[in-house]
């Protein structure tokens, strides 16, 4: 089991800067519920470049997508959140409430990290699946979660 953990750690570490950049870019483009077009496309493209098959416009929702790798069972699904909150604009790296633009959208609860963390997990598990257990015919799904907050 330690070998698997080490493999995942190495896969994540190898792409650390890419994951950091994606989180920062989503932070810089805060989109609220139903409006996450830029973030959804950015994450979908990152998953495609990692070898996932991306299905866009899921359920006839323009910014909903599912990324998949492999087929068969078991199926492991990870949920990615990346929505911002209205009125929660915040300067990055500042521990005190300091708006970039008062009243504008922001990622005050870290959703710029949540979707990206799932991307990171999918990529490392996808790499592991491709080298360790792909022959078991398992599948990995990344599900976009774009309308968590309705109010």
Average pLDDT of the residues in 64-88: 84
Highest mean pLDDT: which of 41-55, 63-77, 135-149? 41-55
In whole angstroms, give the CA distance from residue 39 to residue 16.
19
Half-sphere exposure of 96 (CA within 13 A, CB side): 1
85 sits in the region (left: phi over 0; alpha: psi -120 to 50; else beta) called beta
Residue 125: its pLDDT value, please? 60
Q: How confident is the model at residue 151 (pLDDT cuts 50, 70, 90)?
A: very low
pLDDT score recorded for residue 56? 95
Q: Which of 44, 7, 20 has the alpha carbon at shortest distance from 125? A: 7
Q: Which residue has the higher pLDDT, 84 or 145?
A: 84
Torsion of CA 35, 40, 41, 45, to 10 degrees: 180
CA atoms within 13 A on the CB side of 123: 24
Residue 150 lies in a domain: no
CA angle 31/44/54 to nearest 5° reads 140
Q: What is the pTM of this model?
A: 0.80
| CATH code, 73 | 3.40.630.10
Q: Residues 96, 99, 101, CA angle at the centre, nearest 5°?
A: 175
- Contact (CB, 8 A) for 79 and 87: no
Does residue 78 lie in a domain region?
A: yes
Full domain range(s) for residue 101:
2-145
> How many distinct structural domains can be found in the chain?
1
Question: Residue 9 domain-assigned?
Answer: yes
pLDDT digits (tens, 9 = 90+) for 89-110: 888 888 888 888 888 998 877 7
């Amino acid at each position: 089991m330690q070998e698997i953990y080490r493999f995942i750690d190495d896969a994540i570490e190898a792409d650390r800067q890419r994951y950091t950049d994606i989180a920062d870019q989503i932070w810089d483009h805060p989109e609220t519920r139903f409006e996450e077009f830029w973030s959804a496309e950015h994450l979908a493209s990152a998953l495609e470049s990692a070898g996932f098959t991306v299905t866009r416009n899921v359920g006839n929702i323009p910014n909903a997508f599912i990324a998949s790798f492999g087929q068969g069972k078991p199926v492991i699904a990870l949920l990615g959140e990346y929505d911002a909150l209205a009125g929660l604009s915040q300067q990055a790296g500042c521990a005190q409430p300091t708006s970039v633009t008062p009243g504008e959208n922001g990622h005050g609860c870290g959703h710029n990290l949540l979707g990206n963390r799932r991307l990171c997990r999918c990529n490392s598990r996808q790499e592991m699946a491709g080298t360790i257990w792909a022959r078991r015919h398992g599948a990995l799904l990344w599900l976009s979660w774009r309308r968590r907050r309705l109010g």
